[in-house]
A and B are shown apart, each in its own frame.
Chain A
Amino acid sequence: MLEIKGLNAWYGESHILHGVDLEVREGEVVTLLGRNGAGKTTTMKSIMGLVPRREGSIRFRGAETIKMMPNHVAKAGIAICPEERGIFGSLSVTENLMLPPVVAPGGLDIDTIYQLFPNLKERARTAHGTRLSGGEQQMLAIARILRTGAKMLLLDEPTEGLAPVIVQQIGRTIREIKKRGFTVLLVEQNFRFAQTVADRHYVMEHGKVVDMIPNHQLESSMDKLHEYLGV
């Protein structure tokens, strides 16, 4: 579904990605693991077209998107939940939820979203999205892209800095949306969490993918993984 070959990306003078290769098949949940600064977030932003300069090939459902503007990538059916969550303070919770335009049929309807995220229903009338707690903001950031009909979701560290009980809820959500046929590329620092949701794991180092570990081999690859992640 998503096929990345030889992806390079730059921020100004700094060359961040040095030929990333990875593939995500339809219906999979795939994680990007790696230390801080390995290029995980830059990979996500490059897929979306949110970096100043990128080269290489990103094919989505067979079509090349490397030259597309972010709005066209979104229209093609890829949606991002960014690391900083991107909740708008000048918009109410409901406005935040309804902001992303629908790009294709097959998105979740509001009732289903409220079933998945009961907190959001309670907080729907909150006047400023940024008044929500960190966990609620994260739910909102995920919920709003489930509405749009985009079937390829880029989730950038959705569990970062959240309480264990909320991390569990996000884990349940990811398994639930996988069941509903969404495809997910997930950036994670916490491979213990990644293990509970993912089919495969790519390991990144210095702007490159250096390894791919299927989830069932994760336990037997622990030594290798500890070395990669330096934990």
Chain B
Amino acid sequence: MFMIFGIPGPLLFGQLLLGLINGAFYAMLSLGLAVIFGMLNIINFAHGALFMMGAFVSWMLLNYAGIGYFPSLILAPLIVGIFGLLLEKTIISRLYKLDHLYGLLLTFGLALVIEGLFRNAYGSSGMPYRIPAVLQGATNLGFMFMPNYRGWVVLAALVVCLSTWAIIEKTSLGATLRAATENAPMVQAFGVDVPRLITLTYAGGVALAAFAGVLAAPIYSVNPNMGTNFINTVFAVVVIGGMGSIMGSIVTGFALGVIEGLTKVFYPQASATVVFLVMVIVLLTRPRGLFGKAA
């Protein structure tokens, strides 16, 4: 067995992969948060609950309707996205004229309600979701064995993150979104239905969270608290990357996952806090985040 810095290679790479997986979820979730924050000026505390709903909806599709993993990857984000659309239309849109704090409180409350409802119906012990047959097994990469499903998660997350980035930075729809983030009344005066754009942006951010939830279902057990476990770290990622920065959330998400993974190898005691340590350092040296623009 070969060693790196006195650590067995397979252990190091194993943790690195775990870090990448967590990083993939951080990236997808903080990306949705960043898009929503940019457009709605709301810190969406319900994001973790909507991620959890994505996992639950795919579990329900499988167990009640016999619809498998791959269709779920499309259907669950669609269903949860429509749920997000209704939330925005009926509740969240009433808060735009108020202080940020109200949006934060409202979405935090929504998260508690949604998680409570699922806990009531399904308990909190969690339910398994089988890895689809084609993604079972592992591949020998030479230096380590990589479970196929985990490789798939990293790949799918990368594709989704980069596509989202490309849509926002490279298309005319994205240009309209960026312009509306900067000066919404002006964009509306050009004939764009900005309220509808805001609703669709929220639904899109929510669909991203739900997509991450479907990817997470076979790795973590499907349970009502799975979002809460992630969301604290994800908020730290958003703060570190810089509020509202798209590429910032992606890079920071993956990087912090890896840093967390490596800390587990070299100094396991700090693995739960290292992200927050980074956050403190970044906030002290660059208060608007690594990729944030000056206000």
- Size class of A's contact patch? 20 to 34
Contact partner, B190, options A49, A90, A91, A100, Cβ 8 Å: A100
Taking CB atoms, residues of chain A closer than 8 Å to B182 are: 88-90
The 4 residue pairs across chains A and B that have the minimum distance between CB atoms: A74-B191, A100-B190, A95-B175, A70-B189
CB distance from A40 to the nearest CB of B (A): 17
Q: Are A100 and B191 in contact (CB under 8 A)?
A: yes
- A133, B194: Cα distance in complex, Å: 29
- Is B229 in contact with chain A by the CB < 8 A criterion? no
Let me know if B179 and A101 touch, CB within 8 A: no
Contacts of A145 in B (CB 8 A): 190
Provided the pairs A88-B178, A91-B175, A91-B178 are in contact, do residues A99 and B190 lie with their beta carbons within 8 angstroms? yes
CA distance A101 to B185 in the complex (A): 15
Q: Which residues of A sit under 8 angstroms from B175, Cβ to Cβ?
A: 91, 95, 98-99
Among A75, A90, A98, A148, residue most surrounded by chain B Cβ atoms (within 10 Å): A90
Interface size class on chain B is 10 to 19
Query: A70-B185, A98-B172 are known contacts. Are A90 and B191 too (CB-CB below 8 A)?
Result: no
Q: Is the CB of A90 within 8 A of B172?
A: no
- For B194, the closest partner residue in chain A by CB is A71
Q: Which residue of B lies closest to A86 (CB)?
A: B186
B180 → A minimal CB distance (Å): 9
Q: Does A86 contact B183, Cβ atoms closer than 8 Å? A: yes
Contact A90 B178 (CB under 8 A): yes
Bound together, the chains give a CA A80 to CA B187 distance in angstroms of: 11
A71: chain B residues within 8 A (beta carbon): 188-194
Contact flags (1/0) for A11-27 with B, using CB distance below 8 Å? Answer: 00000000000000000
Secondary structure class of chain A's binding surface, majority of residues: loop
Chain B neighbourhood of A88, CB < 8 A:
178-179, 182-183
In whole angstroms, what is the CA distance A147 to B264 when docked? 57
Give Cα A215 to B106, complex, Å.
58
Question: Using a CB–CB distance below 8 Å, which chain B residues touch chain A?
Answer: 172, 175-176, 178-179, 181-183, 185-194
Cα A148 to Cα B183 with chains together (Å): 19
- Asked whether, in the complex, the Cβ of A90 is within 8 Å of the Cβ of B179, the reply is yes
A43 → chain B closest CB, angstroms: 15
Q: Tell whether, in the assembled complex, residue A75 and residue B176 are in contact, meaning their CB atoms are under 8 Å apart.
A: no
A125, chain B: closest CB distance, angstroms: 14
Interface string of A137-164 (1 = CB under 8 A from B): 0000000010010000000000000000
A101 touches B178 (CB 8 A): no
B75 to nearest A CB, angstroms?
Answer: 31
| Bound CA–CA A48/B190 (angstroms) | 10
Taken residue by residue from 75 to 99, chain A's Cβ proximity to chain B (1 for < 8 Å, 0 otherwise) reads as 1000110100010111100010011
Are B189 and A91 within 8 A (Cβ)? no
B contact residues around A70 at 8 Å (CB):
185, 188-189
For B193, what are the chain A residues with a Cβ–Cβ distance below 8 Å?
Answer: 71
A101 touches B192 (CB 8 A): yes
Q: Report if A48-B178 is in contact (Cβ < 8 Å); known contacts: A71-B194, A86-B183, A88-B183.
A: no
State the Cβ distance, A174 to closest chain B Cβ, in Å. Answer: 20
Residue of A nearest to B170 (CB): A95
Per the bound structure, the CA–CA distance linking A195 and B189 in Å amounts to 28
Interchain CB contact under 8 A, A75 and B191: yes
Cα A86 to Cα B193 in complex, Å, equals 18
- A80: which of B176, B179, B183, B189 is its contact (CB, 8 Å)? B189
Query: CB of A63 within 8 A of chain B?
Result: no
Contacts of B194 in A (CB 8 A): 71
* B14–chain A nearest beta-carbon distance, Å: 41
